[in-house]
Amino acid sequence: MSVVARLKLVFIAILVALTVVWLLSIPMEALTSGFWRLRNSLIYYSGILAIGCLSVAVILAARPVQVEGLLGGLDKFYRLHKWLGIAGALLSVFHWLCENAPRWAVQQGWLAPRPRPPVGAVADVPVGFDPFRDWRGIAGDLGEWGFYLLLVLVTLALWKKFPYRFFLPAHRLLSAVYLVLVFHSIILMDRSYWAQPAGPLLILLMMAGSVAAIISLLRRIGTARKAVGVIETLRFHEDNAVLDVGIRLTTAWPGHQAGQFAFVDFGGGEGAHPFTMTSAWQRDGRLAFSIKGLGDYTRGLPHQLFAGQSVVVEGPYGRFDFGGVRRRQIWIGGGMGISPFIAGLQAMGQRHIEGKVDLIYTTRAPAAAFIDAIRNLAEKAGVRFHLMIEQQDGRLDINRLEQMVPDWAEAGIWFAGPPAFGNALRSAMEARGFPPSQFHQELFDLR
């Protein structure tokens, strides 16, 4: 099973688990006793699904490395985080409609009003303070405004043109919105649910989500995995707009595997960005990154960074580590997807790792010095190096791959590069019977 298929399975399992505990927590007649009782049950159902999805999304946003192995790495489970965030927002819309649409229908005369208590019925007289009773009004109002803000912030998070320097604080604000929605859920949830199977699960999810949200608001995510260092070397390749950055760490670093990435904060208020490390760990406190000038921020780095500048590095993260059951491997790097493979070549050259490897590097912006450095590393590591310059060689496809590496079907495929490129290759391979579990793709899209 591929990692993406596993993530989809986890996503579905979360929705199914929440649905099952809801069904186990209500009397069956609640679904068959008329529209208004059914509507009441759907309000709670949609609310349980929404707060459950948002809770898991907030937990994953705190970067719990304990689940990286299960979910294939941080770059993979951030995709699950994104799906859960979108699902939570859409379910919140359904929750809001379940609450308000019937009222509109009654006002328009399309629906009979909800039956009222019989005349002369004696109402309970409130005694003492009860937050589940006395705070219902404020919980309802806060929940509604939190819902509106949730929709705005999720929309901004999905808008790729929204500047990254604004994306981080806006995304952090989602943690505060989540805490408001937790308060809304606790106060307005029917008390009968807390003694049913839904209660313990929701309490566990909301407690864990609240801790993660507070960690985010305090800017403490990844604190234990941060190291401080200084820029030691800088080299800019003008031909392909790639900046090589060498960093010497001055505080402890746990080490990393070739292919992993880290969040690097160069200062200036932009915040930390994720970059793949292009250096194998040599226990000397040095890290290297090759940064492609793709956006305003990365294009400006060659003019902003200088030797001796302080940096903060958080990591390592990811499971793109060239493991697996097949020693025969083919590495395919598209554009700056070559970064993890540079570290892989260094690791092979230093440790004399056994295994037959072909490295295919496809690029639209060839830089002679950059390519020569990769070729030299490949020679030292005993790796066959294939260069494809798209303007003259075309784009790599399954037929071209078969010509270059006839035994490709017997290898484990490791791909890093543009997602559409990787998806096309994977689909073509699977159409020829290649097992999805042997196609390892870096999903380096954390927004």
Separation between Cα atoms, residue 161 and residue 261, nearest integer Å: 24
The amino acid sitting at 242 is V
Full DSSP string of 283-315? SSSEEEEEEE--SHHHHHHHHH--TT-EEEEEE
Least confident of 92-96, 180-184, 365-369: 365-369
Measured CA to CA in angstroms, residue 174 lies from 11, 96, 209, 390, 447 at distances of 20, 18, 12, 42, 14
- Per the CB < 8 A criterion, the answer to whether 248 and 285 are in contact is yes
Higher pLDDT, 349 or 92: 92
Domains, the chain, ordered by start: 3-113+133-217 (1.20.120.1770), 224-317 (2.40.30.10), 329-441 (3.40.50.80)
Least confident of 189-193, 244-248, 312-316, 372-376: 189-193
Element (H, E) at 388: strand 384-389
> What's the pLDDT tens digit per position in 379-420?
999 999 999 998 898 889 999 999 999 999 999 999 999 989
Measured CA to CA in angstroms, residue 252 lies from 188, 224, 225, 230 at distances of 47, 11, 9, 13
> What's the pLDDT tens digit per position in 156-195?
999 888 888 888 888 899 999 999 999 999 999 988 888 8
> What's the pLDDT tens digit per position in 299-357?
999 999 999 999 999 999 998 888 776 789 999 999 889 999 999 999 888 766 666 89
In the predicted model, what is the mean pLDDT of residues 121-143?
A: 78
pLDDT at 332: 96
Ramachandran region of residue 363, left (φ > 0), alpha (ψ -120 to 50) or beta?
Answer: beta
Measured CA to CA in angstroms, residue 416 lies from 333, 359, 393, 425 at distances of 5, 11, 19, 11
pTM, full prediction: 0.89
Q: Residue 221: how many CB atoms within 10 A of its CB?
A: 20
pLDDT at 268: 81
- Per the CB < 8 A criterion, the answer to whether 84 and 56 are in contact is yes
Please determine, for residue 122, whether its predicted confidence score (pLDDT) is greater than 60.
no
